[in-house]
């Protein structure tokens, strides 16, 4: 039995190298679609129930690959991913019986296709693309929240250091906060003074006691 879909023409995968979901331990299972699929119906009718388990193992393993939702077209690696271990011949028999139903060659942006070949599955690819988009949204929200916290701390610190005019200037606050983030420094008196000296252009900064900083 052919383990791939009828067409062998490669298609462009929606995620590129580096776009992963390696921290995801949960993925949706479309129960009705799964139980009513040609794959499950035919596998059960033809006495290939064991192949269903192998297919599900590979579906879940693909989520943790790079990029998310792909599989390598390499029987040694696939045998390991499918929990056959070193029994590559056992895996190849499972492959011949349909364990890779729905998977087909795909082109991955950023991959060296001269050294690695990839397989993709339409349904899994679509869901991984949606999950990655949601992940990016959450990541952007976390970054925005973290940046807002740093700006708030910088503004509070500037006021405590008697730099009230600087604290009221959003551009200066952002410049100081950005410099501290880039330098991976905490919001301390000394670090804020250094950030003002390094990141803020224009008139020289004068300390709270009237002393010139640079």
Same domain as 92, residue 31: yes
103-107/11-12 β-pairing: parallel
For the ranges 1-5, 36-40, 73-77, 122-126, which has the lowest average pLDDT?
1-5
Same domain as 124, residue 57: yes
70-72/103-107 β-pairing: unpaired
pLDDT in tens, 87-100: 999 999 999 999 99
Domain that holds residue 111: 11-133
Same domain as 127, residue 178: no
Same domain as 22, residue 126: yes
The pLDDT of 18-32, averaged and rounded, is: 86
Assess if residue 145 is contained within a domain: no
Closest C-alpha to 150, from 88, 195, 118: 195
Assess if residue 128 is contained within a domain: yes
Instruction: Name the helix (H) or strand (E) containing 12.
Output: strand 11-12
Assess if residue 48 is contained within a domain: yes
Assess if residue 144 is contained within a domain: no
pLDDT over threshold 80, residue 204: no
Same domain as 113, residue 32: yes
Same domain as 165, residue 129: no
Confidence category of residue 8, pLDDT binned at 50, 70, 90: low
Assess if residue 120 is contained within a domain: yes
- Write down the pLDDT at residue 38: 94
Confidence category of residue 214, pLDDT binned at 50, 70, 90: very low
Q: What is the dihedral of CA 107, 84, 48, 70, to 10 degrees?
A: -20
Number of domains in the chain: 2
pLDDT over threshold 50, residue 101: yes
Confidence category of residue 1, pLDDT binned at 50, 70, 90: very low
- Write down the pLDDT at residue 25: 79
- Any alpha helices (H) in the chain, and if so which ranges? 31-35, 38-45, 49-63, 75-81, 88-96, 122-160, 164-167, 170-183, 189-199
């Amino acid at each position: 039995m052919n383990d791939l879909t009828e067409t062998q023409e490669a298609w462009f995968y929606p995620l590129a190298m580096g776009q992963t979901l390696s921290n995801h331990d949960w993925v949706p299972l479309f129960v009705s679609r799964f139980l009513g699929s040609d794959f499950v119906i035919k596998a059960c009718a033809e006495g290939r129930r064991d192949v269903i388990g192998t297919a599900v193992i590979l579906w879940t393993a693909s989520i943790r690959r790079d990029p998310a939702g792909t599989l390598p077209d390499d029987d040694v690696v696939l045998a390991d991913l499918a929990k056959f271990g070193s029994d590559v011949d056992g895996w190849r028999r499972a492959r011949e019986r349909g364990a890779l139903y729905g998977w087909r060659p795909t082109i991955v942006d950023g991959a060296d296709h001269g050294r690695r070949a990839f397989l993709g599955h339409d349904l899994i690819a679509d869901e991984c693309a949606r999950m990655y988009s949601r992940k990016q949204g959450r990541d952007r929200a976390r970054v925005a929240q973290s940046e807002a916290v740093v700006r708030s701390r910088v503004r509070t610190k500037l006021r405590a250091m008697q730099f009230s005019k600087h604290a009221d200037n959003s551009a200066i606050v952002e410049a100081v906060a950005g410099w501290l983030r880039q330098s991976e420094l905490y919001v301390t008196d000394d670090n804020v003074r250094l950030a003002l000296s390094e990141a803020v252009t224009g008139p020289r900064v004068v300390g709270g006691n009237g002393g010139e900083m640079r």
